[in-house]
Amino acid sequence: MWIFRTQTGGSGTRKYRASFTIETTLLMMVILPVLTALLFAGFYVHDKAKLQGAACELAARGSCLSLEQDRDTQLLKVTAVLSKGGTMWAKDVHAQADAGKDQSSGVAAGSFSFPGFAAPFLDPGDTLCRGEWKRAIRHPAGLIRKVRAVKVLWEAIS
């Protein structure tokens, strides 16, 4: 707390205690918007990470241990579950998966809108929050045959 000393006539000095109301008000005008912006930036990063994880899950499901006939039905089921799951702040979340002959890919996206009256000035529309992942499809049957053949050759040589 600050103490102001003022000189008055012949009686000496008087001490007055000052208040920090004005300084605090000015400081809070800066701190509160910054803290709010950090909070919503955290929401955005969380939603982006969740959508990236969903896309990775879709790509992994499309490339792992499923027959080509079953792959599309499995991807549709997982896509429906992930689309219903939602995120913390993003809305209109949708997921899409595609499994080709050599590659499987997954995309999850939603629209992220910043609340408040400042949003139209900062970002006129919704910000796209998106996660994308690709994964190669491996067919292990040929490798398994080669390993077994090497084992048979090794046993024949030994």
Whether pTM exceeds 0.85 = no
pLDDT for res 1: 47
- Which uninterrupted H or E stretch holds 85? helix 68-85
| pLDDT digit string (tens) for the chain, length 158 residues | 455 555 555 555 555 565 667 777 788 888 888 888 888 888 888 888 888 988 888 888 777 755 666 777 777 777 777 767 667 777 788 888 887 778 888 888 888 877 766 566 656 667 778 889 888 877 777 778 888 888 888 888 87
Residue 28's pLDDT is what?
A: 84
Please say whether the dihedral angle defined by the alpha carbons of residues 147, 151, 154 and 156, taken in this order, is positive or negative. Answer: negative
Distances (CA, A) of 143 to 42, 65, 67, 150: 45, 15, 17, 11
**Tens digits of residue pLDDT in 116-158:** 665 666 566 677 788 898 888 777 777 788 888 888 888 888 7
Alpha-carbon span 138 to 123, nearest angstrom: 43
**What domain range includes position 50?**
34-149
The verdict on residue 4 lying in a domain is no
- Specify if 7 maps to a domain: no
13 falls within a domain: no
Q: What is the tally of structural domains in the chain?
A: 1
Residue 154 within a domain:
no
pLDDT value for 89: 76
In a domain, 109, yes or no: yes
